[in-house]
Structure 1
Amino acid sequence: MIPIAKNIKRYFSQMNFRNFGRKEHGNLFKIRTLDIAIICIAVVISVTAGVFVFNGLKRHVVISDNGREIAVETMKATVGEVLEQTGVTVAVEDYISMPFDSKLARIQENRINIKRAVPVSVNVDGKELVIKTYKDTVKEVLSDNAIGVDDDDKLVGSQLGDKIVPDMNISIIRVDEKTVTEATPIPYKTITKDNNRLDKGLKNTVREGKEGIRQKTYTVVYENGKQIAKQLVKDIVASNPLDKIVEVGTVLNYKTSRGETLRYSKVLNMRATSYTASFEDTGKYPGDPGFGITATGARVKKGIIAVDPRVIPLGTRVYVELPGVAADYGYAVAADVGGAIKGNKIDVYLETSSAVSAWGVKKVKVYVLN
């Protein structure tokens, strides 16, 4: 209670009007009237001083909550206290222009600005981020959350300068451009050459082949790691292929019944008869100058055969095979002729007439040797 008011209360409590007469009461009334007037003046002064003191201690505060303004006159000293007084709560994600422990000024107006955060989803790098933000633009939201956007990247459904609205969806497509070089082999060719010194069926590699290399350079564009475009920018032959060279044998060969391998130029299917140096076969007796002498002047012996020179030239070395027989006639030389030997027919020399009789006429294969 104000001290002057306390004194007034105490003054009146001490008065005893019952002990006075009418005369004294009249005089006393005059005195008390003066006192009351003085007391009333004191009360007015006390109240005025109290009002002045209150006005000196109160603080003027304007709270702007997302554009809605609340004006407050308060005896509270800090931002946090006046917010509690007015029932205004501020979330961690919200923006407030003054810290909670900031002192309120007594003279000038205190303005507290609050901006409420709204939810925003950001799809980036394979993740969906749900962010509460009070920022104004897409660019500010991304920067505030350390989400970088390159010049090549794409934003879907929004631009960097777009204003933020609640439940906004921001999708970022990462765009990468790479230069890729791919090497592909160039197959080599195989060149074959005949070798008339090599048996048929045999091959000889003169030089191994080597693949060449073709290099193709592309510009490849990826969106979120997926290739969407590929453009060829360069195509060069880094190295030429080296052709393989293989010799192929052209010499025919035949493996005899004795296991020998013969080289021949051709094989003839013929009929073969046989003869001896006897008079019955040659018309000459022993002692005659031409007995046992062939048309080429060679002496007859095993391995001499008579041929048709139009088919097998005289002097040709051959091998006579007897198909289906264990032993062939074998090696022979076309060194004789005969009146009956025409076309695909030969006459082989045997030592005895009994051998000739046993021979008869046979089907043979005659290999003309190289």
Structure 2
Amino acid sequence: MKNTNEFSLCNAMKNNMSRSWQKTLAVLVAMVVFTISPVITVMAAARQVNITVDGETSSSMITMACESEDDARAILAQNGYEVSDGDLVSFGEDGAAVSIQVRSALSTTVSADGKEVRVTAHYGDTVAGALSDAGVSLTRFDTVTPGKTNILTGNETIAVKRYHDVTVLFDGTQKTVVAPDGTVADALKAAGVTLGEEDIATPAPDAVLVNGMQVTVQRVSYQEVTTTEAVAYETVKKEDPNLTKGVTKVETEGREGVRTIVTREKWVDGVCVDTEELSNEVTQEPAAEVVRVGTKPRVAGQAVVGGNGTLIDQNGNPVSYSKVITGKCSAYTGGGYCSTGVPAAFGRVAVNPNVIPYGTKLYICSPDGRIVYGYAVAADTGGACMRGTIVCDLYYDTLSECAQIGVRNMNIYILG
């Protein structure tokens, strides 16, 4: 048997130990709950973020909100991405996740029209976009390297080569060519046109080409032309007492000199546009004419026949004539009517009308002027004239006057 007091003490000790363990367990549970609760809260607020940089995507978890570009840049920085101010950053929702895209800035040079322009592009942009940003437009003839659809890689140079539609007018024809960016000289070469040393191109060969330009080529040539002009001679008059006054006689024939002129002519497309005198000089001197002038008093009633073709009538008046016929003349009388129907009279002479037409005014005298018939008109027809035996038949009022003339050589001057 056991002692009753000992048994009671043992029961009391067991009860006290049971209550102490329960308290300790409660404290431990409370501590665990306090520690785990924030972790569960944090895990509940985290979201996935998908970051795409220049086409490459990676994912991570974030707890912060992404509501602005600044938030997106902060998330990128937390994930180790260095983003410059020039980079393009965009963001948005991708289902339950956050999506952030980055297109890196690229520096590109556009070379066109003799200038280089730096433009800022971004990953994925094409050459065409860079050209647009640089304000460069292309015609259908232009070429660009790299091609317009190429994706930019950065730090490249985009080269634009211009080609121009140019019309060249030359040698009476025209030719249209597509010439690369350059000068008029390049377009002429493309058209197969060679400029001579003096030829003119408009615009000038060093002018810069533009699309739709028209170039005109003028062919220029020069030639020297030699012409001559007569140089008049002087007339020296010498008095001669042996010649009748009013009579002149050429002692020495005059001779004209020669002036030689050399000119340089400028011809443009077959038309002479300018003449320059290169020289002008007398290459042969003229020789003076020496004329003897009569001073001997004139015999009344005689004509003066000058050796130089001058004629002074019996009254001292100069006679103007166009032609002189020298030949045999005879005389006739008897009245009646002339072939032209007018009465026969002194001053109306018979002729061959085929040689001297009716109505022709005449002056008739001997070659030396001593025998003068005087002024007359062709009014009759002579048989001997028609046969060619004589040139003229002179009518006189009397037979004795006819006998004085007989048949002799006379000068028949055609007046006018």
TM-score bracket, normalised by the shorter chain, equals 0.3 to 0.5
TM-score of the aligned structures, taking structure 2 as reference length: 0.41
Q: Which has the higher contact order (CA 8 A, sep 6+)?
A: 1
